[in-house]
Structure 1
């Protein structure tokens, strides 16, 4: 059984973070976990001026704002309120996650795209890349979740590339699904680079046969991940699709009514971060349901 004893939820008082708080509170209540609500006061230098430290009056005001934001958290969820100051929000969130020994981070994303995201970056993406624990990102398109009702995961989409990270994601998703009596959709995407497709096909090469064999092999590997006998209280379905990885993940989640996408991240070298940016981050930006990302071991 999955053990979650401490949930950390950073907020900036926006509607996006309020929605994330609802998910965090529902999960904390479901697992009997403590919930810490965190606000980071940004303390950066402006132009040639040194940073202005947070005053005690500001700290009290922000704490009062946190208390008001948390007013709808169920009374039976142990709740801590934290106001800290830092020049770098994502680093401070990571520090606080370590300090409270968080088992789960839950944060909202503003869903920035294009030039704005390129210039400003994304706190959520930076946190996910370095988080010491699983991180659930609640996108702005996600449905509201009543914090005082059971977690409503009915269909969990779990992309699998057969790496150790994705297999651990399957195990995590399975634990969630068993407790929520949900269905897990195991998805493997065959992504053929467009430059290969653009090359002329040699005479006698049966492309359809090669593709069919690749699909059959992937299907067999996926089905090998389905426990035998089946786990109680949850079902699994294995699907193989062809196309760009992140688009197929989003398409399956939309077609099948996915309530949650669970993904594993491999190492954190330069190449891995590029892969993260091209797949995991794109899913986080465009998903219409929460995305839970597991860190590498």
Structure 2
């Protein structure tokens, strides 16, 4: 395999919910000239004995069905001139997908998501979100269309929206978004959300002057980042808006008619994740367009940075981090 060739891993449960993700995986593989590997995981909870006759029969039937459906998937990809390598794993889907990405040295994982919200999300969770928290590379999550919904949007990625809070992970996402925009000949829009100000016990606004200074400082930084992106030949603009991050980001996606949302994520787990939550995951559950989350960006050899490397970046004007 050419070491400079991008490698895409498409994780699928072979259900109708994964159809949209399959289309994006094949489209990106074709436009990027990438090697495409498809992995399907036969879900088998830990603690169950695979050698027990009933379990062996159950796994055997799953294997037959998955093998048959992967052959059909390869035929569909071949019709689009996209060669595909397939693999089947057994175990917990999120763990097996992350392991496959490591073994394949994947540059991008593509996965479908049903966009669960509310009680359904609390009870059932999301395989896509678990993959995002542990994946060794960026993850493109494509939300499935509900039955009876309008036809899927165009697969072309013309307009990319990148929320930036000036943290390292959001700037890494911007760097990766610029790479995607170069491949897709797309434009970028940078967005920073200025969260609501605090109120004192007497309900008066605190630090109004400092808030204005912060707004001016962040506007200047957004402008500088947009200029850096424009400096590599891309079309870039920026916007500063107020509100709660997830809601403001989703509003910006709709108003910009974005084809792709690119977000950084800390990949928190356990107690930290339960306490702080994740803006990326909140957006993922509600966004209509695909969401590309970047926790561990991977770049091709010879990549020239668009934004400053981590050690040379300025501090966040809101948090002084």
Instruction: Work out whether the TM-score is over 0.5.
Output: yes
Select which of 162, 171, 176 maps to 1:172. Answer: 176
Counterpart contact for 1:8–1:38, Cα < 8 Å: yes
Q: Which position in structure 1 is the counterpart of 2:221?
A: 221
Distance 1:108 1:267 in 2: 18
Distance 2:200 2:118 in 1: 28
Measured after TM superposition, the shift of residue 244 of structure 1 is 0.4
Deviations 1:237-256 (A, max 9, x none): 11111110011111101001
Counterpart contact for 1:38–1:81, Cα < 8 Å: yes
The TM-score, its normalising length taken from structure 1, stands at 0.85
Q: Which position in structure 2 is the counterpart of 1:293?
A: 293
Select which of 129, 148, 168 maps to 1:125. Answer: 129
Measured after TM superposition, the shift of residue 57 of structure 1 is 5.6
1:40 paired with 2:41, answer yes
C-alpha spacing 1:42/1:34, structure 2 compared with 1 (3 Å) = same
Deviations 1:61-118 (A, max 9, x none): 32111121343214532201212211x1111111111111111100010111111211
Kindly report structure 1 stretches of 4+ aligned residues shifted beyond 6 Å.
45-51
Counterpart contact for 1:179–1:233, Cα < 8 Å: no
Measured after TM superposition, the shift of residue 265 of structure 1 is 1.8
C-alpha spacing 1:14/1:199, structure 2 compared with 1 (3 Å) = farther
1:16 paired with 2:17, answer yes
Select which of 70, 80, 88 maps to 2:85. Answer: 80
1:1-297 aligned within 5 A:
5-44=6-45, 52-53=55-56, 55-56=59-60, 58-75=62-79, 76-86=81-91, 88-141=92-145, 144=152, 152-192=156-196, 196-197=198-199, 199-202=201-204, 207=208, 209-227=209-227, 230-231=230-231, 233-266=233-266, 268=268, 273-274=273-274, 277-296=277-296
Instruction: Tell me the C-alpha RMSD between the 2 structures.
Output: 2.9
| Structure 2, unaligned runs of 5 or more | 298-321
Distance 2:269 2:61 in 1: 42
